[in-house]
Structure 1
Amino acid sequence: MDRVAKAASQNKVVIFTKSSCCMSHSIKGLFYSQGISPVIYELDEDRCNGREMERALRRLGCNPVVPAVFIGGRFLGSVQTVLTLQVNGSLKNMLMDARCRL
């Protein structure tokens, strides 16, 4: 849990993903298309800490576990939440509040 919290608090936008997850790929693309370069943690490619971080995300209530998006150190949610915020315009405001360059 500490590793997830530390990663989320030290970066403006963090996305925990799996390289084989199409939703993870879509969410990363959404942020890249807005000029945001999030810190990406590919859980399935991190042999040392990937499973530990996945368990921590599950304990935070991430279901499904990936993609899990954090903005400004705060857990935002997964695909449905992020897309809802994008559609209603709130995502851009959250990114500006986190001082992300848009």
Structure 2
Amino acid sequence: MAERVARLASERAVVVFTKSGCCMSTAVTTLLGELAVSAAVHELDRDPLGKEMERELGGSLVGGTSKVMAMHLKGELVPLLKSAGALWL
């Protein structure tokens, strides 16, 4: 499972693991779209191995919606996206 998560996470500079219909996930993907970031989005609840993938992800990435939004409000998200090669502004 770790290899699959790593492969999915390496698809693009920004990869979002969501659950379909989650308004908080939609808020993050909308924000990234408004920043012109082309993120790969994987809906865990539509993947047969989604629960296992979610356990594998844990808290090892940037974080949930509240952390992403807090970083954006503090002016930390755009520099992070630029350093990841996801934003060219």
Give your verdict on TM over 0.5: yes
Work out whether 1:50 is the aligned partner of 2:62. no
The aligned length equals 87
1:61 to 59, 62, 66: 59
SS at match of 1:15: strand
Letter matched to residue 80 of structure 1: S
- Relative to the length of structure 2, the TM-score reads 0.85
5+ residue gaps, structure 2: none
What is aligned with 1:83? 69
Q: For 1:55 and 1:78, locate their aligned partners in 2 and report how far apart those are by CA, in whole Å.
A: 14
What is aligned with 1:7? 8
Q: For 2:87 and 2:74, locate their aligned partners in 1 and report how far apart those are by CA, in whole Å.
A: 20
RMSD: 1.6
Q: Deviations over 1:7-61 (max 9, x none)?
A: 22342000000112110111110100111110000111112x222212212xx23
5+ residue gaps, structure 1: 63-74
Q: For 2:86 and 2:9, locate their aligned partners in 1 and report how far apart those are by CA, in whole Å.
A: 14
What is aligned with 1:101? 87
- Relative to the length of structure 1, the TM-score reads 0.76
Share of identical aligned residues, percent? 39
Letter matched to residue 78 of structure 1: G
- Name the structure with the higher strand share: 1
Q: For 1:87 and 1:3, locate their aligned partners in 2 and report how far apart those are by CA, in whole Å.
A: 32
